[in-house]
Chains A and B, each alone.
Chain A
Amino acid sequence: DAGVIQSPRHEVTEMGQEVTLRCKPISGHNSLFWYRQTMMRGLELLIYFNNNVPIDDSGMPEDRFSAKMPNASFSTLKIQPSEPRDSAVYFCASSIREQGGYTFGSGTRLTVV
């Protein structure tokens, strides 16, 4: 298995533009998580899905952020419009719901200028 695959690895965009981050979880995993890593806040959970259904989106900063999981093998995190303070590394992780640990992707480093 190739693990959790995120794309792109790096994204540089101008303030106000729409940004879409993509994630392919491990096949057979039924939970998917989006985290954001910043110096100030460490790893913070944005949203997670069980069986493609959003369970907890309380970590999504504001309405500019949205996430979808149209099927078991794909999820997107969209920021529209993007702002400089959104600059961070965004991680996707997947797991088998009944088990404890996650497998993380390599992350997308987003820079909004």
Chain B
Amino acid sequence: DQQVKQNSPSLSVQEGRISILNCDYTNSMFDYFLWYKKYPAEGPTFLISISSIKDKNEDGRFTVFLNKSAKHLSLHIVPSQPGDSAVYFCAARIKAAGNKLTFGGGTRVLVKP
């Protein structure tokens, strides 16, 4: 039972354009969401997060949007750069249950120069 799903396994975008990555979840108890970025042969690194009390969080070129009613979040990268080519994982947590993260399957992003 996958509680966090990333339905697009891959995404290709031109440099300078917007990348939009999507993530859906089923557990309404999740109250904190994170995005991680992973390069080959490295561990995932934290990118950006959002609490369920917000619907948007922005950090430079990265913005995460949360739609609680739809149990959906998205990551926007604007403008996309070749260095953004990586696998992106969405993750969710129930704060009261501790700091265990449930991850989605990942989306591979390729930014073409």
Interface residues of A (CB under 8 A from B): 4, 31, 33, 35, 41-45, 48, 50, 55-56, 91, 93, 95, 97-107
Contacts and interface: CB of A to CB of B under 8 A. Distances in A.
Given A43-B89, A55-B98, A101 B46 contact: yes
Interface residues of B, number: 22
Nearest to A38: B105
Interface in B57-101: 89, 93, 98-101
B41 interface: yes
Most B CB atoms within 10 A — which of A91, A97, A102, A107?
A102
A65 to B, nearest CB: 17
Contact of B100 (A4, A45, A101, A105): A45
B44 A106 contact: no
B101 A45 contact: yes
Interface in B25-73: 32, 34, 36, 41-46, 49
A102 B101 CA distance: 9
Main secondary structure of the interface of B (DSSP, over half): loop
Contacts, number: 58
B34 A106 contact: no
For B32, B34, B100, B102, which residue has the most chain A Cβ atoms within 10 angstroms? B100
B89 A56 contact: no
Given A100-B34, A104-B45, A106-B41, A56 B103 contact: no
A42 B46 contact: no
B34 A56 contact: no
B101 A104 contact: no
Q: 10 closest A-B pairs (Cβ-Cβ)?
A: A104-B43, A42-B105, A43-B103, A101-B46, A104-B44, A106-B43, A105-B43, A42-B106, A97-B99, A91-B43
Contact of B42 (A43, A50, A97, A106): A106
A42 B36 CA distance: 13
Contacts of B49: 100-101
A45 B100 CA distance: 8
